[in-house]
Chain A
Amino acid sequence: MQMVNKEFKPKIVAFCCNWCSYAGADLAGTNRLQYPAEVKIIRVPCSCRVNPMFILRAFQRGADGVIICGCHPGDCHYTTGNYYARRRMTLLFSMLDFLGIEKERTRLEWVSAAEGQKFASTMNDFVKTVTELGENKRLEDLRCKK
């Protein structure tokens, strides 16, 4: 009998800010730290560039989890961008939870350019959480499923 590999591999979209988290991801790479290949990084100029629509759109197009990474509060390249992002994302995550969508699928983390280790461990942890949750069923768009 042929063995079929049915292990679930989640699709993760990571919005990383250009100045801190993207550089942090780079550092994780140059340090040869392992983090799952399921994480697809999208570079954005600042964490506050992430429109709530982006997150919903990512879920629509088949993402199982969305994580936003930005500079630590106070370290934003544009001084205040991440403070706005923090308020917006808090409200959005709370709304998703209100609608009964698993709140563990979304996350906001602060990762600086020097924190390659934190980037890798955050991603490992997030992928593990989402893998346990399984496929994104509550915010899926059947039209986008193949």
Chain B
Amino acid sequence: MQEMMKKKAIELLQSGEVARVLGWKKGEFDYDITPAVFESAEEIENEFIYNSLCSPNLSKYLVKESRKEGKTLIFLKPCDSYSLSQLITEHRVIRENVYAVGIECYGKTDADTIKEKGIKGITKITENDGVLNIETLYGTEKIPVYEVLRERCVNCKSKKHPVYDELIGEEGETVDDCERFDEVAKIEAMTPEERFAFFRNELSRCIRCNACRNVCPACTCEKCVFDNDASGIAQKAASDSFEENMFHIIRAFHVAGRCTDCGECSRVCPQNIPLHLLNRKFIKDINELYGNYQAGENIGNRSPLTDYTQSDAEPNIVYERGGKDNA
């Protein structure tokens, strides 16, 4: 796979079809893969990496890259393709300047997920034929990738690419029976007190690093409401439980109806807050109240929040359903 992608990238770069390539390269550590822009064949030959650790979603970089001169080649996993499709719908990416190559994906993993399996002191991870070879301070371990998939990949929603110019590998299908809302449903079934305690526990860890906002392919405003120093919620210095609630409600609300559920927010969170739960709650509500909707599925789809029907449910519906004590 990696060799095919390298070959494609070098071919397109040398023919002058594209001016730069968006891909992945080794970060500070071998297992710490980071997005990168390549502009020459040598760079690609030496640094380009694609394996099961290539989680980062590259789509958001196109907001800037597609405004530069020449075309940008981007490699898209199905998740990233949904994000790109949504960005094109919102006119945030100039489609003509993008050469999108879809790549098949069987799920990704990352160092955090591997560490959760109790593997400590990781020094190096290599991959061979779907099996990770993990070198640690205490010896080498071999684990198949499918055993350490990230949560979002276990509950993969689709292996289809809504937007691409060319495909490497096979086109997949949407996964209809994915269980991504199970966790949300579990929390909904708690009492309000339990839910409050659960989210205080999770959200109070927030250090307001804004990584979730910066990585989110749906958060592309030039000026963000949270960059307002006078808002009182611009940083963690004035720590208060309110500010965390406020930040996370508003962050999730601003992407409601546009979130493609790529799970990047939870991946980058240094405090491991399950931020995707908030986004999925909105998606679940939208699906239940306004009909099934998957952001980014088709270019030009109208978001449920910029649409309405005369027979929409009244907000009272919220009072009539939910946790145990509402019966």
Contact = CB atoms under 8 A, between A and B. Distances in A.
Contacts of A107: 315
A99 B196 contact: yes
Interface residues of B, number: 45
Contact of A90 (B188, B195, B310, B318): B318
A104 B199 contact: no
Interface stretch (A7-15, A24-32, A80-88, A113-121): A80-88
Q: Which of A97, A101, A143 has the most CB of B within 10 A?
A: A97
A139 B312 CA distance: 28
Interface string B284-327: 01100110000000000000111111101111011100100000
Contacts of B314: 86, 90, 108
Contacts of B319: 103-104
Nearest to B313: A90
Interface stretch (B52-60, B97-105, B119-127, B240-248): B240-248
B94 interface: no
A73 B313 CA distance: 11
Interface stretch (B107-115, B204-212, B250-258): B250-258
A141 B232 CA distance: 10
B29 interface: no
A91 B287 CA distance: 11
Contacts, number: 112
B253 A91 contact: yes
B238 interface: yes
A95 B249 contact: yes
Interface in B268-293: 278, 281-282, 285-286, 289-290
B interface SS class: helix
Contact of B285 (A84, A94, A138): A94
Contacts of B281: 94-95, 98
A89 interface: yes
Contacts of A41: none
A97 B250 contact: no
A48 to B, nearest CB: 10
Contacts of A89: 315
A140 B240 CA distance: 9
Please report whether the interface of chain A is mostly helix, strand, loop or mixed according to DSSP: helix
A77 to B, nearest CB: 16
A139 B315 contact: no
A93 B315 CA distance: 7
A139 B245 contact: yes
Contacts of A50: none
Given A87-B290, A142-B240, A108 B315 contact: yes
Residue among A98, A107, A138 facing the most chain B CB atoms (10 A cut-off): A98
Q: How large is the interface on A (under 10, 10 to 19, 20 to 34, 35 or more residues)?
A: 35 or more
A87 B199 CA distance: 24
A30 B188 CA distance: 45
Contacts of B307: 87
Contact of A100 (B194, B225, B318): B194
B69 interface: no
Given A52-B250, A99-B199, A99-B249, A91 B308 contact: no
Q: Which of A74, A89, A93, A96 has the most CB of B within 10 A?
A: A93
A102 interface: yes
Given A56-B250, A74-B310, A143-B232, A98 B187 contact: yes
A73 B310 contact: yes
Interface of B: 187-188, 192-199, 225, 232, 238, 240, 242-243, 245-246, 249-250, 252-253, 256, 278, 281-282, 285-286, 289-290, 304-310, 312-315, 317-319, 322
Given A98-B187, A98-B278, 4 more contacts: A73-B310, A83-B309, A87-B308, A90-B313
